[in-house]
Amino acid sequence: LQGSVEGGNSGVTYYLSGRYADEDGPIARLGSARNGNRLLAGTSNLTFLPTTKLKLGLRSSYAQRDFESVDNGNNIYGVNTAA
């Protein structure tokens, strides 16, 4: 899910965008264990134009990623090889 909005007038302009993703991993849930990737991100830009020769801007961004995987006991070959 993602979206953005922008606008303004002759003295101020703005831009906001955001993104959210929640993806399941290749292994199905095992009890309460979750296997997947979650992303939350956003950006904002704000520009002030007080005169024709002066432009002031403020930009910020945020990102958070949570990755969870099934515990495989530190086995580099993965969960399925112990079967």
Q: Given a cut of 80, is residue 27 above it in pLDDT?
A: no
| Residues 42/17, Cβ–Cβ less than 8 Å | yes
Q: CA–CA separation, 52 vs 35, rounded Å?
A: 53
Q: Which of 66, 64, 83, 68 is nearest to 27 (CA)?
A: 68
d(CA 18, CA 28): 28
Q: Which positions ≥6 away from 16 have C-beta within 8 Å?
A: 4, 5, 6, 42, 43, 44, 45
**For range 41-45, the mean pLDDT:** 98
Element (H, E) at 39: strand 36-51
Residue 79, pLDDT > 70, answer: no
Q: What is the pTM of this model?
A: 0.69
Q: Average per-residue pLDDT in the chain?
A: 83
**Residue 26 above 80 pLDDT?**
no
